[in-house]
Copies of this chain bind each other. A is one copy, B any other.
Amino acid sequence: MSQFLANHMKTMKPYTPGHQPKKGEYIKLNTNENPFPPPPEVSEIMSESAKSLHLYSDTNCKLLTDTFAEHYQISPESVIFANGSDEILAFCYMAFCDSDKGMCFPSISYGFYPVYADLFNIDGKKIPLNPDLTISPDHYFNQDHHIVIANPNAPTGIALTLSQIEEILVHNPKNVVIIDEAYVHFGGESAMKLTETYQNLIVCGTFSKSRNLAGGRLGYAVAHPSLLADLNLVKFSFNPYNVNTLTQALGVASIKNDRYFQHCTQSVVKTRRYFIDSFDKLGFHTLPSCANFIFTKHHDRDGAFLFEKLKEHKILVRHFDQEPINQYLRITIGTQEEMAVVVQKMTQILEENHA
């Protein structure tokens, strides 16, 4: 820390990204990446796009916007893109929060929600989950804060229904409600269409998970044009060129190859079913997941212990040393082959370490 750091930054605790080991060192199931590479045609598209990189990227992401809008049958005026959905979330905090009005979110959820509250020096209010780690919509009624909820939630994987989200929207006419759909394509229901009815709704999402592009950094928000205008005001006051030329082309390619997208997401869902069943048989209780990860705990073995044991076996998952989730492991769904290895190694760990 230097002597120049602004006062409100001095207690700032940054976000901790998941550990990124050297390639091939681990079966890497700790950061909810897609086990499948992007569609093969992107290699040639990148090779071609590279030739015009001396020119600025399109600040309006026009081709990407039109392609996305057509695919999801929404208006091109109701979508904006950013450098990952993290940047979308940051833009929301910057546009709508101030010392008079902060942001509220589930007490157990994506780690960035409280970090942004600290960074932008606004009130971040944590709303506890139920004892079964579900979210109660009525806890969010008539808030004095804006609201951000991950749906499905992370790290639980549990999803709200669209009618539960509508209840929250109806009971918050004076607040912006942000539904973060990072994992929606693995079993949740998108609230995107509700943006046509509710002018206080922002649906955000990412190409990092279901669209195989974590390293490409592309996020989006869909909302009523009046909210979009606010987000664009922030974008054009912060970094108008936030989505580079290559990433725009990646986004277009991903949307166009819907067959590949469906193949990858369905493979993950199928493997998730196999994996939950196998872990059930080993004595695990797994929350009902609508995401590309599961959140699971063993009936009598310690979460931190199992995390370390898996790591010894070169399998990297995520463990949060925090009540009330410190007995759980968050395990990303990899390929069928990878998950079979996890089942085999876990069987071995449990046999070798009787309770």
**Also in contact, A17 and B49, with CB within 8 A (given A54-B37, A98-B6, A227-B4):** no
Q: Which B residue sits closest to A56, measured CB to CB?
A: B214
Kindly state the separation between the CA atoms of A230 and B5 in the bound complex, as whole angstroms: 7
Do B55 and A48 touch (CB < 8 A)? no
A sample of 18 inter-chain contacts (CB < 8 A) reads A4-B146, A4-B176, A12-B233, A15-B237, A17-B241, A31-B56, A33-B55, A37-B53, A38-B53, A42-B50, A43-B48, A53-B213, A83-B83, A84-B242, A116-B237, A215-B245, A216-B245, A246-B246
Bitwise interface map of A from 1 to 35 toward B, beta carbon under 8 Å scored 1, else 0: 11111111100111101101001000010010111
- The answer to whether residues A51 and B56 also contact, given A2-B229, A15-B237, A239-B83 and a CB cut-off of 8 A, is no
Shortest CB distance A176–B (Å): 5
> Which of A2, A101, A213 has most chain B Cβ within 10 Å?
A2
Taking a contact as CB atoms under 8 Å apart, the answer to whether A43 and B47 are in contact is yes
A98 to B28, CA, bound (A): 41
Are the CB atoms of B216 and A246 closer together than 8 Å?
A: yes
A247 — which chain B residues lie within 8 A by C-beta?
244, 246
Q: A6-B97, A6-B98 are in contact. Are A226 and B1 (CB under 8 A)?
A: yes
Judge whether A141 is part of the interface by a CB distance below 8 angstroms.
no
Binds B, one of A67-75, A86-94, A321-329: A86-94
A58 / chain B contacts, CB cutoff of 8 Å:
20
Q: Given A96-B4, A146-B4 in contact, is the A215-B244 Cβ separation under 8 Å?
A: yes
Q: How far is the CB of A264 from chain B (nearest CB, A)?
A: 9
Q: How close is A275's CB to chain B, nearest CB, in angstroms?
A: 19
| Closest Cβ–Cβ distance, residue A60 to chain B (whole Å) | 9
Of all chain B residues, the one with the shortest Cβ separation from A229 is B1
| A-B pairs with lowest CB-CB distance, top 4 | A215-B245, A14-B236, A46-B46, A47-B47
Contact A43 B51 (CB under 8 A): yes
Q: With A1-B230, A98-B8 as given contacts, are A90 and B216 in contact (CB-CB < 8 Å)?
A: no
Please tell me if the beta carbons of A2 and B199 are within 8 angstroms of each other in the complex.
yes
Which B residues lie within 8 Å of A232 (CB)? 14
Is residue A107 within 8 Å, beta carbon to beta carbon, of the partner chain?
no
> Complex Cα distance A267/B255, Å?
40
Given contacts A241-B84, A247-B244, contact A54 B33 (CB under 8 A): yes
Q: Does A133 sit at the interface, judged by CB under 8 A?
A: no
Closest Cβ–Cβ distance, residue A334 to chain B (whole Å): 11
